[in-house]
């Protein structure tokens, strides 16, 4: 026996982390602080938690998750935000990607920045498996529409917000395994808004965002897999796909089908063949 407290006494054990993270209101924070001042066991546990936080915050301990995993997490969390908005009646119903693990993903994402490298890597691999389980994946049209809708709902329309094609194109370098063509179509009535990463069919894809009047166009692209894209409509959104220069393109918008076809023709004309 060392005579040192073995752990919190139990009365405030569940409140110590919340106190350290500043999650308690004023009344409960004061109550917990008064208890800690009178309880050596809880005071020692609080000191241990502070020391652990300081250790994890040191340089070389924290591990940054790769961009691909970040894109998966953002996509899953945005799908959850879209589900909540749809259930509240804020937007028309659009079939989202399955997200039964969204609550756990949110909690994990908030904590990964401070995890040791080995633990973070294990968490990353586990989440990659959960998010990409093939038996739960929606069809491509659903994923495209979900990607379009979540970009509007989750304040994540762009990662690089600019109308300058010479800024958007190099931004993708190193973030995708291909070079996305970026075309300035402002003189055709389609204004470039920017670009971002998204996650479609278990891979990171590039998305260019254009506007025509008040309509947003998401243009998703990735290396061609040999499938023939088709035009379709889903839940009030037009979907138009084509292949060019070894890439597959999918334009999604609530813009009418005629103008979306104009966009396709203008983009195809201005990009490499």
What CATH number has the domain bearing residue 163?
3.30.200.100
pLDDT at res. 267: 96
Q: Has residue 182 been placed in a domain?
A: yes
Q: Residue 244: pLDDT above 70?
A: yes
Let me know whether 265 and 162 are in one domain: yes
Which of 114, 141, 168 is the C-terminal boundary of a domain? 141
Residue 179 forms part of a structural domain: yes
* Whether residue 118 sits in one domain with residue 27: no
The mean pLDDT value for 59-72 works out to: 69
Calculate mean pLDDT across residues 84-91: 59
Give residue 196's Cα distance to chain centre: 10
**163 and 266 belong to one structural domain:** yes
Task: Give the residue-averaged pLDDT of 44-60.
Answer: 81
Answer whether residue 4 is part of any domain: no
Mean pLDDT computed over 4-11 = 60
Neighbours of 49 (CB within 10 A): 16
* 126 vs 47 pLDDT, higher one: 47
Examine the domain organization and report whether 173 and 264 are in the same domain. yes
Q: Check whether residue 170 and residue 253 sit in a common domain.
A: yes
123 and 194 together in one domain: no
Higher pLDDT, 44 or 97: 44
Mean pLDDT of the chain: 77
Specify the pLDDT at position 264. Answer: 94
Confidence (pLDDT) at 111: 47
Q: What is the pLDDT of residue 3?
A: 47
| 190 and 214 in a common domain | yes
Q: For residue 261, what pLDDT is reported? A: 94
Q: Is 112 contained in some domain? A: yes
Predicted pLDDT of residue 95: 42
Q: In angstroms, what is the C-alpha Rg of the chain? A: 24
Residue pair 176/197 in contact by the 8 Å Cβ criterion: yes
pLDDT band of 102, cuts 50, 70, 90 = very low
Terminal-residue alpha carbon distance, the chain: 77
46 and 89, same structural domain?
A: no
Q: Average pLDDT, stretch 221-235?
A: 86
pLDDT at residue 184, as a whole number: 94
**5: pLDDT strictly greater than 60:** no
172 and 214 both lie in a single domain: yes
Would the pLDDT of 72 be above 50?
yes
Dump pLDDT digits (tens) for 129-153: 444 443 334 588 888 998 898 888 7
On whether the CB atoms of residues 165 and 192 are closer than 8 A, the answer is: yes
How many of the other CB atoms lie within 10 Å of CB of 225? 9
49: domain range? 13-56
Count of domains forming the chain: 3
Is the pLDDT score of 25 beyond 60?
A: yes
What are the percentages of helix, strand and coil residues in the chain, rounded to 5?
45, 20, 35
């Amino acid at each position: 026996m060392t005579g040192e407290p073995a752990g919190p006494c139990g009365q405030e054990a569940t409140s110590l982390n919340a106190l350290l993270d500043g999650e308690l209101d004023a009344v409960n924070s004061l109550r917990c602080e008064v208890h800690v001042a009178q309880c050596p066991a809880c005071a020692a546990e609080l000191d241990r938690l502070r020391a652990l936080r300081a250790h994890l915050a040191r340089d070389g301990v924290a591990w940054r998750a790769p961009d691909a995993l970040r894109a998966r997490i953002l996509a899953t969390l945005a799908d959850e935000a879209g589900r909540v908005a749809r259930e509240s009646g804020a937007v028309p119903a659009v079939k989202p990607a399955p997200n039964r693990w969204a609550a756990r993903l949110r909690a994990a994402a908030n904590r990964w920045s401070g995890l040791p490298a080995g633990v973070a890597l294990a968490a990353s691999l586990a989440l990659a498996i959960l998010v990409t389980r093939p038996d739960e994946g929606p069809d491509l049209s659903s994923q495209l529409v979900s990607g379009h809708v979540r970009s509007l709902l989750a304040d994540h329309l762009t990662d690089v917000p600019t109308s300058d094609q010479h800024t958007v194109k190099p931004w993708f370098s190193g973030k995708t395994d291909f070079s996305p063509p970026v075309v300035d179509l402002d003189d055709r009535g389609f204004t470039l808004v920017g670009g971002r990463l998204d996650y479609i069919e278990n891979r990171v894809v590039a998305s260019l965002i254009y506007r025509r009047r008040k309509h947003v166009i998401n243009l998703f692209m990735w290396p061609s897999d040999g499938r023939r894209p088709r035009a379709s409509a889903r839940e009030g959104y037009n979907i138009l796909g084509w292949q060019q220069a070894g890439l597959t393109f999918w334009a999604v918008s609530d813009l009418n089908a005629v103008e979306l076809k104009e966009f396709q023709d203008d983009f195809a004309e201005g990009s490499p063949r």
